[in-house]
């Protein structure tokens, strides 16, 4: 009897894969066979830990301790029985060759969770350099052959903080169908010349908060697709990159409205654009409203303030037909700094569906280049001017 008990105790002490810490049960991936040797794929270990943590009736933590790990494509499925935390303290690297993703559109795909937290100061390095050289999105119009680093699908009441995403192969983060998700101290890094490496792309989600973060990448820092509602970006530095944008909208039928976007207290440095709303000409009908950009610093930024309802990259559209996306209740306030293009403010609204309720003021953007004086261009909108304007409005 005593002997049996001791054996059981020994077993419990030595081999149990989880332990309690505070209110949370901890599942350490090393206990599931993960090795920080940079060459053993930890996806099976991580998925095993996930399965047990997700089944735990009390809050649980999956721990990726310090060390460098290799991780292939993984898909985490919820819902889970209790709040779950992914504590990443190590560096996690993806295989450099996209062929190893076997057509998977995501590196880490996280589906259907409530009260999920990802934190720990860890780094996710997708090693995108090799993939960028294979990128043919511009040529084919499709990027389906490359994985996005993080796909958050149908996640509610969740927090992603103190995590860094490095060198994604395609987008860093895609947020779809989420409600109340916060990104804080979430850093994104990729070189200026990396193709289609959008920072955080949001679609069909309500309540997305991006705060106290740095995003420097090869495409948009943050972009809003259709159905984005109540999105706030504050205290974010963006650059390099293509800026923060709404759209492009209107390209596809049955797009959902974009309502409620606030970009405040942000700094853009050496980006191709600043704050931008883009819709396709000859488009499907759509609505984007309550879009506000305030307290923003521009350092050597192209097109710092831009509404472009004739957005038509690679001439994939008929520019003679107006955009049918209606923009309303838009404001640009207290935006200062330097423009790298002479047209510092351009508000090109649709001739068929003019913008309504657009307010602008306290703009002070200077241009030091050789292509003439700094200018503002405005079409198909009656503006409410609420403060000083440099450049002056036409």
Ligand X SMILES: *[C@@H]1O[C@H](CO)[C@@H](O)[C@H](O)[C@H]1NC(C)=O
What is the Cα–Cα distance from 319 to 282, expressed in whole angstroms?
Answer: 7
204-233 residues in contact with ligand X (CB under 6 A) are: 212-214
CA 123 to mean position of chain CA atoms: 16
**CA neighbor of 97 nearest in space, from 127, 74, 70:** 127
Q: Considering the complex, what minimum distance in angstroms separates the CB of residue 176 from ligand X?
A: 12
214/278 with CB nearer ligand X = 214
3-state DSSP assignment of residue 309:
coil
Catalytic residue annotation: 242
Buried b (16+ CB within 10 A) or exposed e, 23-56: ebbbbbbbbbebebeeeebbbebbebbbeebbeb
Q: Considering the complex, what minimum distance in angstroms separates the CB of residue 298 from ligand X?
A: 16
Count of residues binding ligand X (CB under 6 A)? 28
Does 115 help bind ligand X (rule: CB under 6 A)?
yes
Among 109, 119, 149, 156, contact with ligand X (rule: CB under 6 A): 156
Does 122 help bind ligand X (rule: CB under 6 A)?
no
CB of 119 within 8 A of CB of 161? yes
Among 43, 104, 179, 334, contact with ligand X (rule: CB under 6 A): 179
32-71 residues in contact with ligand X (CB under 6 A) are: none
110/317 with CB nearer ligand X = 110
Does 113 help bind ligand X (rule: CB under 6 A)?
yes
Does 111 help bind ligand X (rule: CB under 6 A)?
no
90/281 with CB nearer ligand X = 90
Q: How would you class 379 by CB atoms within 10 Å of its CB: exposed for 0-12, middle for 13-18, buried for 19 or more?
A: middle
**CA neighbor of 148 nearest in space, from 173, 166, 123, 165:** 173
Q: Which residues fall within 8 angstroms of residue 19, CB to CB, at 6 or more apart?
A: 25, 26
49/113 with CB nearer ligand X = 113
Which span (134-142, 166-174, 259-267, 381-389) binds ligand X, by CB under 6 A? 259-267
What is the Cα–Cα distance from 263 to 363, expressed in whole angstroms?
Answer: 15
Does 176 help bind ligand X (rule: CB under 6 A)?
no
329-358 residues in contact with ligand X (CB under 6 A) are: 329
Does 364 help bind ligand X (rule: CB under 6 A)?
no
264-303 residues in contact with ligand X (CB under 6 A) are: 264-265, 290, 292
Among 43, 114, 127, 267, contact with ligand X (rule: CB under 6 A): 114
Does 31 help bind ligand X (rule: CB under 6 A)?
no
Does 82 help bind ligand X (rule: CB under 6 A)?
no
CB of 269 within 8 A of CB of 239? yes
313-332 residues in contact with ligand X (CB under 6 A) are: 329
The two three-digit tokens of residue 301, written as one number: 């930024």
Task: Using alpha carbons, list the distances in angstroms from residue 243 to 149, 303, 322, 372.
Answer: 20, 9, 24, 24
What is the Cα–Cα distance from 308 to 274, expressed in whole angstroms?
Answer: 12
Which span (113-121, 125-133, 134-142, 194-202) binds ligand X, by CB under 6 A? 113-121
Task: Using alpha carbons, list the distances in angstroms from residue 282 to 33, 48, 249, 325, 351.
Answer: 55, 50, 11, 10, 11
Does 157 help bind ligand X (rule: CB under 6 A)?
yes
Which chain residues interact with ligand X by CB under 6 A?
78-79, 112-115, 121, 154, 156-157, 159, 162, 164, 179-180, 185, 187, 212-214, 234-235, 260, 264-265, 290, 292, 329
């Amino acid at each position: 009897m005593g002997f049996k008990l001791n054996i059981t105790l020994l077993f419990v002490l030595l081999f149990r894969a989880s332990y309690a810490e505070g209110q949370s049960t901890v599942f350490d991936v090393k206990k599931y066979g993960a090795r920080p040797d940079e060459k053993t794929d930890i996806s099976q270990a991580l998925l095993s830990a996930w399965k047990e943590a997700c089944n735990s009736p009390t809050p649980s933590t999956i721990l990726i301790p310090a060390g460098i790990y290799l991780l292939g494509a993984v898909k985490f499925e919820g819902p889970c029985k209790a709040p779950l935390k992914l504590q990443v303290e190590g560096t996690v690297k993806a295989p450099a060759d996209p062929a190893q993703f076997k057509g998977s559109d995501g590196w880490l795909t996280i589906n259907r969770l409530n009260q999920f937290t990802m934190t720990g100061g860890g780094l996710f390095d997708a090693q995108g350099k090799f993939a960028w050289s294979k990128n043919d999105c511009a040529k084919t119009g499709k990027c389906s052959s490359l994985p996005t680093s993080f796909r958050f699908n149908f996640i509610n009441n969740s927090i992603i903080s103190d995590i860094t995403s490095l060198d994604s192969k395609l987008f860093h983060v895609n947020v779809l169908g989420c409600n109340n998700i916060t990104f804080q101290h979430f850093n994104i890094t990729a070189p200026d010349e990396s193709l289609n490496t959008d920072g955080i792309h949001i679609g069909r989600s309500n309540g997305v908060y991006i705060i106290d973060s740095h995003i420097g990448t090869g495409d948009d820092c943050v972009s809003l697709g259709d159905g984005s509602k109540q999105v706030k970006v504050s205290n974010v530095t963006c650059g390099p990159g293509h800026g923060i944008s709404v759209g492009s909208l209107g390209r596809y039928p049955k797009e959902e409205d974009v309502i409620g976007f606030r970009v405040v207290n942000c700094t853009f440095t050496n980006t191709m654009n600043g704050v931008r709303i883009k819709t396709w000409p000859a488009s499907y009908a759509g609505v984007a409203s309550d879009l506000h950009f305030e307290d923003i610093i521009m350092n050597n930024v192209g097109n710092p303030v831009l509404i472009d309802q004739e957005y038509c990259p690679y001439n994939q559209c008929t520019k003679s037909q107006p955009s049918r996306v209606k923009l309303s209740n838009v404001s640009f306030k207290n935006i200062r700094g330097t423009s790298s293009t002479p047209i510092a403010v351009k508000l090109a609204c649709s001739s068929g569906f003019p913008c309504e309720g657009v307010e602008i003021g306290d703009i002070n953007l200077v241009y030091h280049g050789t292509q003439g004086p700094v200018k503002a261009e405005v079409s198909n909108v009656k503006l409410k001017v609420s403060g000083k304007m440099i450049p002056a409005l036409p």
